[in-house]
Amino acid sequence: MGQTDIRVTPIGLGTWQFSKQKNMAGKFWPTLEDNLVDRIVSLSIAGGINWFDTAEVYGRGESEKALSRALKEAGKKPGDVIVATKWWPMFRFASNIRETIGTRLELLDPYQIDLYQVHQPWSFSGETAEMTQMTELVNRKLIKTVGVSNFSARRMENSWKTLQKSGIPLASNQVRYSLLDRSIESNGVMELAKKLGVTIIAFSPLAQGLVTGKFHDNPGLLKNIGLRRYNPQFKPTGLEKSRPVINLVKELAEKYDVTPSQVALNWVIQYNGDTVVAIPGATKEAHVKENCGAMSFNLSGEDMERLDKVSSIFK
């Protein structure tokens, strides 16, 4: 993970879906019963995943609490897995990082916060003040490493510079990245991450399920996709724009005897070397098996270049 001593698997598990619909962010997903959450976490571990990403805003801590419970059910002791969470900055000052860390630790107890991230770049304070607060938490050994999320190249560099003054590396920048959203390759984020040695954590690496082709094959599914229906990529013109990518993903899935989602995930974690890791979510046991299976094969260089070419319109 960046220039830290934390080693993560190329695929982690995103846990937004553990929110129990407790706030607006949580209502994006159906309520998952505790036993299903436990199975998703235990199957992820059994499949080789060693890290989990959650956040304060996911159900006002419900996801953090559910993750801690599931890890305990799986028999994992503190230090056995890597836990990442995020501070929510909206309508807050940087001092709130220090004020709320106790709640984060309480909900995740007994697991430490290996990676603590600023969830968005918008707060009443700038990134310099936020990183100063994060530095204090590292020095007090309340967190192990620091990351950011949804930060532009400029904000990422400012964060890196502030942490560097205390000899602390900026571990990561968590951003949207998939075959159908490659904007970080054109806005400077990817280039700077490689230059500074910052890991890119790709969220929505399956473009909210779009890259699997299920909506292209069965448009009737679009009636039940919740808030995603407002995304232009799910409109008829958006589906047609991405169809060439979907067709190639399906072709390669047959070639490698894997699923389309595994092709898409494998490209995300391979194409930029060690710079990018991904955190797909899972609401079903089958999703977990697919996520883990994405680490079991390697697309050839030629096939990765074919995917690069056909998806370049999404840079």
Could you report the per-residue pLDDT of 147-202, keeping only the tens digit for each?
A: 999 999 999 999 999 999 999 999 999 999 999 999 999 999 999 999 999 999 99
* Cα–Cα distance for residue pair 152/135, rounded to 1 Å: 20
Average pLDDT, the chain: 94
Report the range of poorest mean pLDDT among 16-25, 90-99, 183-192, 237-246. 16-25
204 or 235, which is more confident? 204
Residue 17 is classified by DSSP as: G
Report the range of poorest mean pLDDT among 160-164, 214-218, 310-314. 214-218
Report the range of poorest mean pLDDT among 35-39, 111-115, 232-236, 297-301. 232-236
pTM: 0.95
Backbone angles phi and psi of 178, in degrees to 5? -165, 180
Q: Indicate whether 25 pLDDT > 70.
A: no
Please give the structure tokens belonging to residue 269: 């974690």
Closest of 117, 119, 101 to residue 109, by C-alpha: 101
Identify the burial level of 197 via C-beta atoms within 10 angstroms of its C-beta, where 0-12 means exposed, 13-18 middle and 19 or more buried.
middle
> Cα angle vertex 243, ends 239, 247, to 5°?
150
pLDDT of residue 226: 64
Q: In the structure, what pLDDT confidence band is assigned to residue 235 with cuts at 50, 70 and 90?
A: confident
Catalytic (active-site) positions? 58
| Structural domains in the chain, sorted by start | 13-207+261-296 (3.20.20.100)
Residue 252 · residue 299 · CB < 8 Å: yes
Residues across the chain: 315
Cis check for the bond before 236: say yes or no (omega within 30 of 0). Answer: no
pLDDT of residue 27: 54
224 or 242, which is more confident? 242
3-state secondary structure of 81: coil
Q: In the structure, what pLDDT confidence band is assigned to residue 234 with cuts at 50, 70 and 90?
A: confident
* Cα–Cα distance for residue pair 264/251, rounded to 1 Å: 12
| Residue whose entry in the numeric block shows the structure tokens 């898409």 | 264
Q: Indicate whether 26 pLDDT > 60.
A: no
The model's pLDDT over 114-150, given as tens digits with 9 standing for 90+, comes to 999 999 999 999 999 999 999 999 999 999 999 999 9
Report CA-CA distances (Å) from 127 to 2, 53, 89, 118, 196.
19, 21, 10, 9, 17
Closest of 163, 140, 136 to residue 2, by C-alpha: 163
What percentage of the chain carries pLDDT values higher than 70? 95
Residue 205 · residue 179 · CB < 8 Å: no
- Dihedral of the CA atoms 151, 137, 278, 75 (nearest 10)? -160
Residue 231 is classified by DSSP as: S
Q: In the structure, what pLDDT confidence band is assigned to residue 31 with cuts at 50, 70 and 90?
A: confident
Q: In the structure, what pLDDT confidence band is assigned to residue 21 with cuts at 50, 70 and 90?
A: low
pLDDT of residue 202: 98
b (16+ CB within 10 A) / e for 68-102: bebbeebebeeeebbbbbbbbbeebebebbeeebe
